[in-house]
Amino acid sequence: MPGTAAASWDQMPVIDIEEAAAFPARGILLDSRAAERYRGEVEPIDPRAGHIPGAHNRPTTANLTADGHLLAPEDLTAALAELGVESGAPEVAAYCGSGVTAAHQILALETIGVHAALFPGSWSQWSSDPARPAGTGEQP
């Protein structure tokens, strides 16, 4: 059935690289990439491997069922609560390699009532600056 939609700019909250650096002190920063990229074991695209220090890993693939649909809201809520992400919790932001996969993370968060900001520069911008630290391993 046909519908109507109107696209417009500036509807998604975003943070820049300086806000991303300070974010773990004020909220929860989610790295939406595969766990091995987060841990710094592989980096197929960017100049350095690892993650933004203080960020928690939540691969977007973990938000999907085996057939590629979003998990049920109660399952998403339970899984994200383990990271401290829940309605009324501190601010939440997400990044990935280039910002695309993080937008998927933000969609999943929206389905459970958590509004999150996007760091569009993501790991590509962060890892391109040698002065920025890179976390490795499982811990934020």
- Classify domain 32-127 at the CATH topology level: Oxidized Rhodanese; domain 1 (3.40.250)
* pLDDT tens track, the chain, 140 positions: 678 878 777 788 999 999 999 998 889 999 999 999 999 999 999 999 999 999 999 999 999 999 999 999 999 999 999 999 987 777 999 999 998 999 999 999 999 999 999 999 999 999 999 999 999 999 99
Mind telling me the catalytic residues? 96
CA–CA separation, 5 vs 11, rounded Å? 14
